[in-house]
Structure 1
Amino acid sequence: MKARNDPTPLSIWIIAALWALGALAPTIRWAISAWPTSGGSVVALVIVTLVFVVYHAAALIRLSRWPIVLQVAALAWSVLSRTLGGNFDVGPTSALGLFMMWVPFGVYLACTLPHWRKMNWAFFGRPYRPHAHLEETFA
Structure 2
Amino acid sequence: MTSDGFEQPTEFDQITSGVRTLTAWQAAFDEAEETLLAAHETELHRGDFQIEDIGRAAWDYLPEAERGAAQDELFYTYWSVVQSDADELARYERERDVRSALRDCLDELHGLTGRSVKADRALLERIAGLAGELLGRGPSAFHPAEVGEAS
Specify if TM > 0.5: no
Q: Which of structures 1 and 2 has the larger relative contact order (alpha carbons within 8 angstroms, sep 6+)?
A: 1
Bigger helix fraction? 1
Bigger CA radius of gyration:
2
TM-score (normalised: structure 1): 0.28
TM-score (normalised: structure 2): 0.27
